[in-house]
């Protein structure tokens, strides 16, 4: 499983939907609320054993942006 697939799997779990693709963004995912965004950040930190800065969490508005942030941390 590659990084993008892991991220999508985590997002599907956090947002409670299978409708997450590589092109998904905050605007296209109905359940992407501010609270779930924080839950997503927490799950990503746990899964990849990283610490995300508030500025990084704020800019994670799509699968591609999340993957970019995580790649920099790994």
The CATH number for 18's domain is: 1.10.1200.10
Among residues 49, 50, 45, 16, the alpha carbon closest in space to that of 33 is found at 16
Answer whether residue 73 shows pLDDT above 90: yes
Report d(CA 9, CA 56) in Å as an integer. Answer: 20
The confidence score (pLDDT) of residue 40 equals 98
Residues 43-62 have pLDDT tens digits of 999 999 999 999 999 999 99
Report d(CA 17, CA 59) in Å as an integer. Answer: 22
Domain of residue 51: give its range.
3-73
Q: pTM value?
A: 0.95
The confidence score (pLDDT) of residue 62 equals 98
Residue 7 pLDDT grade (very low, low, confident, very high; cuts 50, 70, 90): very high
What is the total count of domains within the chain?
1
The confidence score (pLDDT) of residue 27 equals 96
**Residue 64 structure tokens:** 């591609």
């Amino acid at each position: 499983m590659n990084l993008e697939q892991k991220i999508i799997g985590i997002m599907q779990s956090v947002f409670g939907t299978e409708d997450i693709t590589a092109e998904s963004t905050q605007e296209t995912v109905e359940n992407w609320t501010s609270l779930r965004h924080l839950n997503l950040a927490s799950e990503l930190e746990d899964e990849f054993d990283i610490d995300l800065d508030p500025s990084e969490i704020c800019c994670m508005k799509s699968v591609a942006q999340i993957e970019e942030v995580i790649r920099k941390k790994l």
